[in-house]
Amino acid sequence: MQIQPIWSNFFAKKFNFQQFRTTICVLIFASFCFPHSLLAQETVSAKPTGQFGGVITATNNGVSIIPSFTLGRPALLFDLSLSGERFSFDPMLRFGMDGKPWSFVFWGRYKAIKDKRFTLSLGAHPAFIFAERIVKVNGKEETMLVSQRFLAMEVAPTYKISKRLSMGLYYLRGHGFNPIPPDNSNFIALNTVISGVPVGGGFTMRINPQLFYLKVDDDSGTYATSNFTVSKPGFPIGFQGLVNQKIKSSIPGDDLIWNVGLLYIFSTPFHRAK
């Protein structure tokens, strides 16, 4: 199902895309430089106090947080994370291959429970979905980049059964602040994570099958999805694939959604300056 963002009054004037793209590039560059600046200032502690990292994905089909929604065309995804002992800031920036923004999600997360077997993570975010629309300005039609705005929260308990196997639940509740629906969405999933499966050459596979229920306003449906990630410790390049199958649903969209992606993975520990 292709996400179709709608007009809202988020922007009061024509969007300056060139200036916006330059600003985003500067922010991303600054994010990469930020942990190194912290490292340079560290003078006392030898133990890292946090970590900056992320995954940059080039994919043939941009898939949303909810796998039944897609951009419907190739995309470039930035999943970044600046984390400490319990708190993390996890921005998700999605662009089309033409450089135009698709969606920005700014997660704030807190690990309420964190032990060897059981973890409970709580999170919330504002989100913005962008699209070009033809709108009337002073009686004239103009093409503008407009935004649909959302606020959401998540609850994610996870239990680690063994070194390679864990299971958990994931609940996402979203609300839109727009003149036209969707207004409310509920997403609940049963997750299984199988990690460290050898595939040769030092690479391992992470398999994440998921059964989920989705309700968007008055429509609802059930789906089965699985995400496959192949990577190698210490090696920055990985591969990813996703398959999402509709089981029964009144929500408009494709019965089968899939994508493949090339990953660039990075991680840098940092120390808090004294």
pLDDT at residue 37 tops 80: no
CATH of domain 17-270: 2.40.230.20
The phi-psi region of residue 19 (left if phi > 0; otherwise alpha if psi is between -120 and 50; otherwise beta) is: alpha
Most trustworthy range by pLDDT among 101-110, 134-143, 172-181: 101-110
pLDDT for 204 equals 96
pLDDT above 70 coverage of the chain, percent: 81
pLDDT for 30 equals 47
Q: What is the average pLDDT across 210-238? A: 96
Instruction: Please report the DSSP string for 108-140 in residue order.
Output: EEEEEEE-SSEEEEEEEEEEEEEEEEEEEETTE
Top pLDDT among 140 and 78 is at: 78
Residue 67 amino acid letter = P
Q: What is the average pLDDT across 52-74? A: 94
Distances (CA, A) of 87 to 53, 84, 121, 265: 14, 5, 10, 21
Q: What is the average pLDDT across 84-104? A: 93
Q: What is the average pLDDT across 230-256? A: 95
pLDDT at residue 7 tops 70: no
Q: Is residue 87 very low, low, confident or very high in pLDDT (cuts 50, 70, 90)?
A: very high
Domain boundaries in the chain? 17-270
pLDDT for 2 equals 43
pLDDT for 24 equals 53
CB 204 within 8 A of CB 228: no
Q: How far apart are CA 177 and CA 115, in angstroms?
A: 37
Q: What is the average pLDDT across 75-97? A: 95
SS3 35: helix
pLDDT for 229 equals 97
Q: Is residue 113 very low, low, confident or very high in pLDDT (cuts 50, 70, 90)?
A: very high
CB 53 within 8 A of CB 82: no
